[in-house]
């Protein structure tokens, strides 16, 4: 069955960057966008952007533009989200989720989440 497996927890210092991976399996990687969603402690879901694995094109939420980069490595069916210039406000759980490119369906498979802690 379709599955997204994310990399492990990270602890970073303010000003550093973090790169989270999302390994897809059980489906055709290039047929689905990969979205990234952040959830700060005790807060709601925040959409960060998506990448089209087929073309490499990405779209970022305005809040993160200039600090976030989403990439993919198609041969190993893995997506990446890198966030730079970290502050304590970037602490939280980062999820990846897939969404079909050619049909309207929503984010139907999610990763388990990666916890990022930003602390000096």
Sole residue written with tokens 């993919």: 72
Check binding of 35 to another protein (CB under 8 A): yes
Spatial separation of the C-alpha atoms in residues 66 and 9, rounded to whole Å: 23
Helix (H, G, I), strand (E, B) or coil at 54: coil
d(CA 114, CA 48): 14
Does residue number 59 form part of the binding site for another protein (CB under 8 A)? yes
Q: How far apart, in whole angstroms, are the C-alpha atoms of residue 88 and residue 54?
A: 34
| Residue 27 within binding range of another protein, rule CB under 8 A | no
104 binds another protein, rule: CB under 8 A: yes
CB 86, min distance to another protein, A: 22
Minimum distance from residue 120 beta carbon to another protein (Å): 27
The residues that touch another protein, with contacts defined as CB under 8 A, are 35, 37, 44-47, 50, 59, 61-62, 95, 97, 104-108, 110-113
């Amino acid at each position: 069955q379709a599955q997204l497996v994310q990399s492990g927890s990270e602890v970073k210092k303010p000003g550093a960057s973090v790169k989270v991976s999302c390994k897809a399996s059980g489906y055709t990687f290039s047929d689905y966008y990969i979205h990234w969603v952040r959830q700060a402690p005790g807060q709601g879901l925040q959409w960060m952007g998506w990448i089209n694995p087929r073309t490499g094109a990405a779209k970022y939420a305005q809040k993160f533009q200039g600090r976030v980069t989403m990439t993919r490595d198609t041969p190993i069916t893995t997506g990446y989200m890198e966030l730079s210039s970290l502050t304590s406000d970037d602490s939280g759980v980062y999820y990846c989720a897939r969404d079909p490119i050619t049909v309207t369906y929503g984010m139907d498979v999610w990763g388990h989440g990666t916890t990022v802690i930003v602390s000096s």
